[in-house]
Amino acid sequence: MKERSFKGKTVLLTAGPTYEPIDPVRFIGNHSTGKMGFALAACFASRGAKVILVSGPTNQKTEDQTITVLPVTTADEMYEAVLEHADAADIIVYAAAVADYKPKVVADKKIKKAGNELTIELVKNVDIAAALGKQKKPGQFSVGFALETDNESANAAEKLKKKNLDMIVLNSLRDEGAGFKHDTNKITIIEPDKTTAFELKQKTEVAQDIVNLVWDRLHG
C-alpha cells in the first residue's frame, strides 16, 4: 500500500482536558490525559503534515519539531487558539475533552470552608466544534470525538450532523480499556453514510486507523 501522505496539509488538533477555575486553588476538570490527541498529532506529523496542537493541561510531551504545541488551560483559551488558526487548516480534529460548563463567577481568593454546603452556579462553555462548524470553509475536513455512556451511536450521529463534522470518533466508557486514563482505546467511526467499528488497540494504532480513514476520504 502506498504511503498515505499529508505533505502540504495543515492539521489543527485539540487535545487533553480543560480546567475551569473556581478560585485560585480549585477547578472543574475531567480525567482526559491527552494521549489520544498527542498520538494523532504524532501520526499526522509522521505523514508529512504541519501540525498545530492546541493542548489543555497534560503531562504528554512531543519532541517532534514539526508539531507546534499551543498550551491552554480553559475552554475559552482553547477556543481563541483554535479560532486563530482555523482558516489556515485543511483538517481540524477536535480530540480535546472540553468542559461543558464553567463557574459563572471565579473567586479571586481561595474559598474558605464554611457550613456544610457550597453552591456554585455554572454557565455553559462555548462548543468549539459546533462554533467552528458554522464557519467551516469549503474543502475543510473536520473530525470530532464523542465519549458516551448510553445511546452511544445515536448521540454521536446527532453530534456529527449538529456540528457539521465529516466524521466523528465514538468511544464508550462501557468498553473496558477505552476512554480516559488508558493506553488503549476502542472506537467506532461514524460518517454521514457509513459506520466503521474497530477492535481494542493501543492509542498509537487507533491514531493510525483514524488518520488512514481521513486520508481515504480526502482521496476517495
Catalytic status, residue 59: no
177: left (phi > 0), else alpha (psi -120 to 50), else beta?
Answer: left
Q: What is the rounded distance in angstroms from the CA atom of residue 33 to the CA atom of residue 37?
A: 9
The active-site residue, picked from 30, 155, 164, 212, is 30
Which strands make up the sheet holding 10-15, listed edge to edge?
A: 67-71, 50-55, 10-15, 91-94, 141-148, 167-172, 188-191, 194-197
| Nearest CA among 54, 68, 60 for reference residue 18 | 54
What angle (nearest 5°) sits at the alpha carbon of residue 49, between those of residues 193 and 2? 70
Alpha carbon of residue 128 to chain centroid: 10
Active site residues: 30
